Chains A and B, each alone.
Chain A
Amino acid sequence: MIVVNGEPMEWKEGMTVRDVINEKRYVFPLLAVWIDNSSVPRDHFATTPVPDGANVQIIHMISGG
């Protein structure tokens, strides 16, 4: 099990950041990701594994209108 933006999500073997984003259907292009408070560069989403038990923050970078 992992936590994504405060909500539990089932963990799967080999899961990458991109898989989590796709499963969540986060289509907004300006996403920023932190795994256990470490940031993941955008061009590494597809290759960065998400470990079981991770706390993942996927921030949509739009805030002010």
Chain B
Amino acid sequence: MEKMKVLAEWSYDPAKPFRGYTGKTLKVNVGDMTFESKDVSEDMKFKFTGGRGFGLKLLWDSVKDTTKWNDPENEIVISGGPLCGVTQYPGMGKFYAVFVSPLTDQTYDSNAGGHFGPLLKFAGWDAIEIQGKAQNDVVVVVDADAKKVQILESPFDDVNAYTVTEAIHEYYGDPKDINDRRFVSVVTSGQAAENTFWGCLNSSFWDSHRKTARLKQAGRGGGGTILRDKKIAALVVKTHDLSGTANNPADVDTLTRLGAKLHKEIITLDAKQCRMRTAGTSHLNEIMNEYHLLPTMNYKFGQHPDADKIHSKIYEKMFTQGISDGCWYGCTMACAKAVDGFELKTGPWKGRKITVDGPEYETAASFGPNVGVYDPAWTTETNFYADHYGFDTISAGTGIAFVCECYELGLINKENTNGLELNFGNKDDIMELIHRMASGKDEFARMVGQGVHRMKDLFAEKFGADRNVMERIGMEGQGIEVSEYVPKESVAQWGGFFLTLKGPQHDEAWLIFMDRVNKQLPTFEDKAEALHYFPNFRTWFSLVGLCKLPWNDIEPADNATKYPPQEAARVPEHVQNYVDIFNAVTGQNITKEDLIHQAERVYNFQRVFQLRLGKGTRKFHNIPDRALGPVWADEWEARAEYYDNELKAGGVDPAGLSSQEKCDRLQKIRREQWEKLVDTVYRRRGWDKNGIPTVKKLKELGMDIPEVVAVVEKHAKPEDQWKD
């Protein structure tokens, strides 16, 4: 690669982390080519903790109430959090990216593994804010070894992720030692991010075993679209200041002791529990199918006889075994599986043999049964191109599933799709659509890439498609596509997806088993309690830089015998580990209750942030009919006995009703349940009837920051306050 030309440069003295924080954040404006260092105050740590919390705070300070995703003041803020970079305990290398999303026009947060988060901190920064828009493509480099931050002219004509990432690792690595490339990490996106709203952020790590760069994704929300809108080809961090104690923790012995215990647990129990070390999250494929939760043909069904063809045993054989596939050092869970020597059959790299990261469960489902395909090799190819072109496999899979159903219902036709036959299962034409989405040259593909929310408008306006039908079957909430679980059987999971801060992603609460199978949440109050606790608990992971998987995808051997059922499901020993690790790193002395309070501060702040941007009220907590229950007769008939019983439980005798009439009656019952759920959850969260946090709640949390209170007071109405 030719030498990159320096456009702007700034020198700094990298701050060493102390107790998990460097105390500094970096702001780079690629528009006016400026750099700024900001101090992290104790108050900022108390209120926002780190990670996503820092991201939201810095974004709040930088945008206006009217900021849209492609305004220059919009930012991508990346921050790992105080525990990010710990190597003694599994799953501690995540970063969280925060931005105003092109899909939802409100804040979004998305996380990725890889080494960018930890290396950024060890390069001296608790967070990096990227603002402005460059005129031509640039590369932003934080080089702690050289004590410089630079904006460089990008040499890349091809901005796709693997092209850029491999070249950058090579450029910054020592030519005499190929594994020196591990001290570099790169965030990229790709050409699909320029032409769709589904752009993902790829975060790299150098795989010293395979001698290649690997990519993990902050897939959701369109962060990659913003990266490319800012004309950034790559964000690079480089530092050799990397060690197991680089965080300068208060009590390294506790970290080592807790880590050793979990490593042992994983190594001895994983093969009997979730098989994460050999199958990754693909172990969920057959489980979700068995429980009618595997999205099949745009979530019409949750199960299919061909699901055997995507069984995790098949993926397990495709994945290279025997290599420690952790996406950060010390992760014995090692679920970042990869397919090596995979020969591509289509697209610009046709014929090349490459390493594919994944597929993980979400991709196996989205570019699998959800689009009617049961072919792991095809799914693997879509996975590769999604990463390389830079788009989110969840949104794209759910989005294309919607397109397929529209096509099969005759709402759009072959003329509209520019010759593609987009029936479920038509692999070749779906693959062609993916390539067209990346190229941006085909008008229909460009419409698809704007997401389900906008497709409904575009298909109605341009093709005369029935708007009402599309509203019923379009699996999106707040503008973003639903992730890969069928929610229609669990009232609590309606909330887990659709009463979220940012839209239907499974990183707030996954309650389907608790609610539907275990029957642990019989009342609306029980469901609301779970929809308070779990979203906050999961938010905490995003504040400190953790991966969630080592929390409950492995459990101590005696977990189920030591605790009563309700408690056991929270894996108390692992929760206590997190409390102890937080204290061991930061030197603080929090309890497990404090952990929820830390999260609740940020959770409510983000809710007010959405309000400030013109969202964040009840009307944006919308749920499509397809998420509530069967919409069409064939969905009902696939599980007729089950749904008949559901109808009876709702007080309606199904005898004499047609399947379509039954669907309509059940929808009515469930819509009423939904409204009741919304009320109960809002109350439990300390929000008013319109879903706005009350000033009282903000005061309780210590988040009565004047400008936050001002936003609430501007929007809260007396008639929306609860009477008692």
Interface residues of A (CB under 8 A from B): 5-7, 25-34, 39, 41-42, 57-65
Q: Which residues of the partner chain B approach A59 to less than 8 Å between Cβ atoms?
A: 518, 520, 560, 565, 568-569
Q: Tell me whether B723 is interfacial, beta carbon within 8 Å.
A: no
Q: Tell me whether B263 is interfacial, beta carbon within 8 Å.
A: no
Q: Which residues of the partner chain A approach B272 to less than 8 Å between Cβ atoms?
A: 29
Known: A5-B519, A28-B513. A61 touches B559 (CB 8 A): yes
- Whether B565 contacts A32 by the Cβ 8 Å rule is yes
| CB-CB nearest in chain A for B520 | A59
Known: A29-B272, A65-B506. A57 touches B534 (CB 8 A): no
Q: Which residues of the partner chain A approach B560 to less than 8 Å between Cβ atoms?
A: 31-33, 39, 41-42, 59, 61
- Whether B290 contacts A39 by the Cβ 8 Å rule is no
**Nearest-Cβ distance from residue B144 to partner chain A, whole angstroms:** 35
Of B166-174, B547-555, B625-633, the stretch lying at the interface with chain A is B547-555
- Whether A63 contacts B511 by the Cβ 8 Å rule is yes
Q: Tell me whether B507 is interfacial, beta carbon within 8 Å.
A: yes
**Nearest-Cβ distance from residue A57 to partner chain B, whole angstroms:** 6
| CB-CB nearest in chain A for B496 | A65
Known: A29-B272, A29-B273, A65-B548. A60 touches B565 (CB 8 A): no
- Whether B568 contacts A32 by the Cβ 8 Å rule is yes
- Which 3 residue pairs of A and B lie closest in terms of their CB atoms, listed nearest first? A32-B560, A65-B510, A60-B513
A27 to B290, CA, bound (A): 7
Q: Which residues of the partner chain A approach B510 to less than 8 Å between Cβ atoms?
A: 62-65
| A6, A29, A31, A65: the one within 8 Å of B534 (CB) | A65
- Whether A27 contacts B286 by the Cβ 8 Å rule is yes
Known: A63-B510, A64-B552. A5 touches B569 (CB 8 A): no
| B517, B551, B561, B565: the one within 8 Å of A64 (CB) | B551
- Whether B287 contacts A27 by the Cβ 8 Å rule is yes
Interface residues of B in 490-533 (CB under 8 A from A): 496, 506-511, 513-514, 517-520, 522, 530
- Whether A60 contacts B273 by the Cβ 8 Å rule is no
A33 to B473, CA, bound (A): 38
**Nearest-Cβ distance from residue B70 to partner chain A, whole angstroms:** 31
| A41, A42, A63: the one within 8 Å of B513 (CB) | A63
Q: Tell me whether B618 is interfacial, beta carbon within 8 Å.
A: no
- Whether B555 contacts A65 by the Cβ 8 Å rule is no
- Whether A64 contacts B513 by the Cβ 8 Å rule is no
Number of B residues contacting the other chain (C-beta, 8 Å)?
A: 39
**Nearest-Cβ distance from residue A52 to partner chain B, whole angstroms:** 21
Known: A32-B568, A65-B508. A6 touches B519 (CB 8 A): yes
**Nearest-Cβ distance from residue B198 to partner chain A, whole angstroms:** 21
- Whether A61 contacts B496 by the Cβ 8 Å rule is no
**Nearest-Cβ distance from residue B576 to partner chain A, whole angstroms:** 16
| CB-CB nearest in chain B for A27 | B290
Residue-wise, chain B 540-581 has the 8 Å CB interface mask toward A (1 for contact) of 000000001001100100011100010011110000000000
**Nearest-Cβ distance from residue B506 to partner chain A, whole angstroms:** 5
- Whether A63 contacts B569 by the Cβ 8 Å rule is yes
A61 to B552, CA, bound (A): 8
| CB-CB nearest in chain A for B510 | A65
Q: Tell me whether B274 is interfacial, beta carbon within 8 Å.
A: yes
Q: Tell me whether B299 is interfacial, beta carbon within 8 Å.
A: no
Q: Point out which of A27, A31, A41, A63 has the most chain B C-beta atoms below 10 A from its C-beta.
A: A63
Q: Point out which of B272, B508, B559, B569 has the most chain A C-beta atoms below 10 A from its C-beta.
A: B569
Q: Tell me whether B538 is interfacial, beta carbon within 8 Å.
A: yes
Q: Tell me whether B389 is interfacial, beta carbon within 8 Å.
A: no
Q: Tell me whether B537 is interfacial, beta carbon within 8 Å.
A: yes
A27 to B487, CA, bound (A): 19
Q: Which residues of the partner chain A approach B548 to less than 8 Å between Cβ atoms?
A: 64-65
A63 to B571, CA, bound (A): 9
A2 to B195, CA, bound (A): 58
| A28, A42, A61: the one within 8 Å of B571 (CB) | A61
| A27, A29, A42, A60: the one within 8 Å of B518 (CB) | A60
- Whether B509 contacts A65 by the Cβ 8 Å rule is yes
Q: Which residues of the partner chain A approach B552 to less than 8 Å between Cβ atoms?
A: 30, 61-64
Known: A27-B290, A29-B273, A41-B561. A64 touches B519 (CB 8 A): no
Sample of 18 further A-B pairs with CB below 8 A, known A57-B565, A65-B508: A27-B290, A28-B513, A29-B272, A29-B273, A29-B274, A32-B559, A32-B565, A58-B518, A60-B514, A61-B552, A61-B559, A62-B510, A63-B530, A63-B534, A64-B509, A65-B509, A65-B510, A65-B538
- Whether B517 contacts A60 by the Cβ 8 Å rule is yes
| CB-CB nearest in chain B for A57 | B565
A2 to B522, CA, bound (A): 20
24 sample A-B contacts, Cβ–Cβ < 8 Å, listed by A number: A5-B518, A7-B519, A27-B290, A29-B275, A32-B559, A32-B568, A39-B561, A59-B560, A59-B568, A60-B518, A61-B552, A61-B560, A61-B569, A63-B530, A63-B534, A63-B552, A64-B509, A64-B510, A64-B537, A64-B551, A64-B552, A64-B570, A65-B496, A65-B510
A59 to B508, CA, bound (A): 20
**Nearest-Cβ distance from residue A64 to partner chain B, whole angstroms:** 5
Q: Which residues of the partner chain A approach B534 to less than 8 Å between Cβ atoms?
A: 63-65
A29 to B511, CA, bound (A): 17
- Whether A30 contacts B273 by the Cβ 8 Å rule is yes
Q: Which residues of the partner chain A approach B496 to less than 8 Å between Cβ atoms?
A: 65
Known: A42-B560, A57-B565, A62-B552. A30 touches B274 (CB 8 A): yes
Residue-wise, chain B 680-693 has the 8 Å CB interface mask toward A (1 for contact) of 00000000000000
Q: Point out which of A28, A41, A60, A64 has the most chain B C-beta atoms below 10 A from its C-beta.
A: A64
- Whether A34 contacts B509 by the Cβ 8 Å rule is no
**Nearest-Cβ distance from residue B558 to partner chain A, whole angstroms:** 8
Interface residues of B in 256-307 (CB under 8 A from A): 272-275, 283, 286-287, 290-291
- Whether B538 contacts A64 by the Cβ 8 Å rule is yes
Q: Which residues of the partner chain B approach A39 to less than 8 Å between Cβ atoms?
A: 560-561
| CB-CB nearest in chain A for B289 | A27
A60 to B571, CA, bound (A): 12
| A6, A41, A63: the one within 8 Å of B514 (CB) | A63
A30 to B635, CA, bound (A): 30
Q: Which residues of the partner chain B approach A29 to less than 8 Å between Cβ atoms?
A: 272-275, 283
